[in-house]
Amino acid sequence: MSAAETIGMQFGPYLLRQRLGVGGMASVWRAIDEGGRTLVVKRILPSLAEDAEFVAMFDREARLSARMRHPNIVRIYDHGDYEGERYLAMEHLHGKDVTTAMMELTRKCGTPRAGLGAYVAREVCRALSYVHALTDEAGAALNLIHRDVSLSNVMLGFDGSVKLLDFGVAKALADDRAARTQAGVLKGKWAYLAPEQIEAGTVDHRADVFATGIVMWEMLTGKRLFKAASGLQTLEKVRAAKVMPPSALNPAVTPELDAICLKALSKSPHDRYASAAAMAEALDPVVEALSYGGPELALQLRGLFAADAATQTADADGDTQLSPVGASLDALRLPPSRWARVRAHRWQMLLAAMVALALGAMTGWQIAHAGGMR
C-alpha cells in the first residue's frame, strides 16, 4: 500500500494524517489519537517484523522508553502491535531537528552564536544523565547508553525546548543478546562514534559524552567534524580523534567553551568528563555567561522558520498556535546587547544622513537664491 493510499487510514487507535519520512527501521507518521491529540506514530518496517530477535528487542526497548519521563527526552505514549505491525506512538514535537536548523542557520546567518551550541549541548547532557542513571523496577542500574547522539537525533522546539530522540539503539551493557545487532540496522552513525566503539574497546557512558562533544563542536562551528568522503575515511578520522578548538573556526567561542568541548572529545575515555552530569555542570556557568536559553532559542528558531512556526496547529495538550515572528537575521546572529548597539548605531547613521540631506538642501537653496539675486 502506497503512502498516498494510507493517508487518512485508521491504524489501530490512530488516524494517520501525513507520512513524515521512512528510515532503515520504521516509517514515521503524523497522526491523531481518539482524543484528538496530535502525535507521531512509528511503524516498524515489515521486513523487521519477521525477525523474532529484533521484535523481542524492540518490545523490551519500547517498554523501557515508555518509562522515561524527562523534559529533554521525547515522550513515548504507547507501543504495541496492530495486525502484525509493531509501532510506537510518541510526542509530536513542534520544531526542527538540529541538522535542519544548522543548515538554515549557516545559509542565512553564517557563523552561529556560541550560546546556541552551549545551550543545546547542556540540555542533551541533562537528558543523557537521566538515561544513564535509569534503574529497573527493583532499583538495579540498567547501565543504558544511547549510542546514537547526533544532530539529527536532537530536536529544537519552537517553544525553546531541546529534546533527545531515538532510543532505538540504546542497549543495556549487561544484556549480551540485545548487544548483538543487525548490520546497517541498529548501529550508530559513523561520524558520531567514539574511538573505542570502532576499536573494540570497552564502551560505557563516556561514548555518549564524546558524541555530545561532536554535536557541540559542529553547532559551534557550522562544520562537520569527522564526516569524510567515504565511510572508511570517516572511521579513520574518528579513530585518530584529532580536534582543533572550535574557536579556530568561530572567534565567538570563549576559552571556557573551547576547554569543555575539547575535554568531551578526548580520545581516551579516561580524559573525558566522567559523566554527562559532570559535563552539564561544567556548561552551566558558560551558558549563563553567554545569556542563551529557551527564550533565545525560540526567537532564533522562529526567525529562521517563521512560516513553519506560524502554521503549527493546536493539539489536545493545549499547545497554542504560534504567531509569525518577524525577527531579522541580524538579531539571530548577535546577542541582545550587541543588537541594541547595532540599532543605536543605525539610528545615528540615519540621523546623520537626514542632517546631511538637510544641509545639502539648504546649500542648494542658498546657491540658487544667491544666483537669483545677482
Q: Indicate the residue type of 344.
A: A
The grid coordinates of residue 122 equal: 547542556
Write the single-letter amino acid at 61: E
Residue with cell 550560546: 115
Q: Which member of 33, 148, 166, 208 is catalytic?
A: 148
Burial 113-131 (b: 16+ CB within 10 A, else e): bbbbbbbbbbbbbbbbbbb
Which residue, 202, 99, 212, is CA-closest to 146? 212
What residue has cell string 544666483?
Answer: 371
C-alpha cell read off for 55:
521484535
Q: Is residue 148 flagged as an active site residue?
A: yes
d(CA 305, CA 347): 28
> Using a CB cutoff of 8 Å and minimum separation of 24, what contacts does 63-70 make?
64/134, 64/142, 64/144, 64/167, 64/170, 65/167, 67/134, 68/130, 68/131, 68/134, 68/167, 70/126, 70/127, 70/130, 70/131
Distance between CA atoms of 204 and 64, rounded to whole angstroms? Answer: 19
The β-bridge relationship of strands 144-145 and 85-91 is unpaired
First to last CA, the chain: 92
Whats the size of the chain, residue-wise?
A: 374
Task: Report the catalytic residues.
Answer: 148
